[in-house]
Homo-oligomer: A and B are copies of this chain.
Amino acid sequence: MKRRDFIKTSALTTVGAISVPNILTASQKAKYSWKIALTWPQNMGIFVDSAVNFAKNVEVMSGGTITIRVDAAEKHKAPLNIFDLVRGGQYEMGHSASYYWKGKESSTVFFTSVPFGMTAQEQNAWFYFGGGMELMDEVYAKHGLYSFNGGNTTNQMGGWFKKEIKSIEDLKGLKMRIPGFAGEVLARVGASPVNIAPGELYTALERGTIDALEWVGPALDIKMGFQKIAPYYYTGWHEPASEMQFLINRKKFDSLPNELKEILKSAMLNSSFMMLNQSQHENAVVWDSMKKEYPNIEIKTFPKEVIEAIKKATLEAYEEESSKNPMFKKVYNSQKEYISKAREWTKISDLAYLNSLE
């Protein structure tokens, strides 16, 4: 289960080879040879591991009846086109994040994470016991797809800032790389969200082309080096628990025997859980060493006034989209109702416990 073990044994893009030698004799052949396309390039550690672990788990459980080749983005060259690759049947499966399909279906954002949304523990309860899975199926079924959860990043950091944000005035005109829905929200309070390719982010921040940016969290941020050029590391608000998803071509899945359907579903559930655990672990370990190596990093949280202003802008954006799109409204209302109960429990359980120790 340790990442090390996978790194040792895995050969990306031919991951099918990992476990097959243990299972199939020379005369045997897998009855189902599937392929999964990832949004992620090979160096996206935790994200790639989730799909690799899934494929290996499925192969071993099925005794080699089904093999799943894992293709990282370098192979298929269509990282943000997984939806169509799987719908069209070029790949039986994909591993990506639901909110990348916002342009096709705005409601898909709720299956990843939304500004001021739920924590991972609250969100998983919503998915499996609060009607979330049924809603996700309703959204994806009409595109000929199944969508199952595929792993969580844990709470994402608010990003790296060159100047401290002391009031809502400090957001006015702020040039920040923050894509998607969160960028739209910041634009509503006067910021200037921009999109810049990952490879150019460091230089853009260093030269002042942008004033701030958000990436993921310590485990992935550290490789980008932002801690060397921006002293303020803000806590999160915009993606409190980003969940990845597996996509499956509906016809291909329906044609499998019951045992293999159950094996695939169980392996995806395992991957979702284990990526959450791995994210928690790697963020904790990397943050521990990052703050020792860069003691000048200042952890900041937006002041109350700023939080309230961007939360108000967020709710306005939700209401506007709800009035235009019935499916968005349906999922939004489900989460809104669920979070009101889930958060009250969080407050008297984990939150009260953690705060009692401070």
Contacts and interface: CB of A to CB of B under 8 A. Distances in A.
Interface of A: 1-3, 22-23, 57, 60-63, 116, 119-122, 124-130, 133, 154-155, 157, 217-218, 233, 235-237, 240, 257-259, 262-263, 266-267, 269-270, 272-274, 276-278, 280-285, 287-288, 291, 299, 301-302, 304, 307, 311, 341-342, 344-357
15 contacts: A1-B128, A23-B258, A61-B263, A61-B266, A62-B259, A122-B284, A128-B274, A129-B277, A233-B348, A235-B356, A280-B342, A288-B341, A288-B344, A346-B354, A355-B355
Contact of A352 (B154, B301, B345): B301
A258 B125 contact: no
A283 B345 contact: yes
Contacts of A120: 121, 350
> A interface, by DSSP: helix, strand, loop or mixed?
helix
A282 B278 CA distance: 26
B348 A299 contact: yes
A57 B124 contact: no
Contact of A129 (B3, B240, B353): B3
A287 B348 contact: yes
B350 A287 contact: no
Contacts of A348: 157, 233, 235, 287, 299
Given A350-B119, A354-B119, A63 B278 contact: no
Given A128-B274, A270-B270, A291-B344, 19 more contacts: A57-B266, A61-B61, A61-B262, A120-B350, A121-B121, A124-B277, A124-B280, A125-B284, A154-B349, A154-B350, A218-B345, A235-B356, A266-B270, A269-B273, A280-B342, A284-B342, A287-B344, A288-B341, A301-B356
A188 B128 CA distance: 42
A227 to B, nearest CB: 13
Given A125-B281, A259-B60, A356-B302, A349 B22 contact: no
A270 B266 CA distance: 7
Nearest to A129: B281
Contacts of A154: 121, 349-350
Given A259-B63, A350-B155, A356-B302, A344 B284 contact: yes
Contacts of A258: 22-23, 60, 63
A237 to B, nearest CB: 7
Contacts of A129: 1-3, 277-278, 281-282
